[in-house]
Amino acid sequence: MTKLTGKCLCGDISFEANGDVPVMANCHCTDCRQSTGSAYAALMFMKQDDVKVTGTPKTFEHKSDAGSTMTKHFCGACGTPLFTQNSARAGMLGLRAGLIREEEEFSPKVNVYTSSKMTATVLDEGLAAFDKMPG
């Protein structure tokens, strides 16, 4: 079991998570780059029921390249990207790894959507890499 805590930049929204983290990944898709303003999104996926959110994030929905509905959660006050959900993976919540206080807990195992990565982004050759989303 992993315990994670974090909050947005202004502190209006915080979270406590306690559970397994079956997937830790860096996503290089264009949607993640646009929604974070970063070269890629560093994500930790947990069961949504294992995450207690204090405050009410705003949400934005869009379609993925595979046709599933993606929901981005962010702070309405400071704009911090907080979580992501994919309708194809019901019950799971992706936490933005940059928010967690327990930063030593983040150890990505995979890079996805490397076909969309920024040219300047150097990938760790020790991690599995996929042009798109595997499976």
* pLDDT tens digits for range 29-84: 999 999 999 999 999 999 999 999 999 999 999 998 888 999 999 999 999 999 99
What is the rounded distance in angstroms from the CA atom of residue 94 to the CA atom of residue 133?
A: 15
User: For residue 23, what pLDDT is reported?
Assistant: 94
What is the rounded distance in angstroms from the CA atom of residue 33 to the CA atom of residue 45?
A: 18
User: For residue 31, what pLDDT is reported?
Assistant: 93
* H helix intervals, 24-95: 30-36
Contact indicator for 40, 121 with CB cutoff of 8 Å: yes
**105 SS3 class:** helix
- The pLDDT of residue 2 is above 90: no
Residues 6+ apart with CB under 8 A from 13: 7, 53, 54, 55, 56, 57, 75, 80, 82
**pTM assigned to the model:** 0.92
Q: Out of 1.10.486.10, 2.40.50.100, 2.170.150.70, 2.120.10.30, select the CATH number for domain 2-118.
A: 2.170.150.70
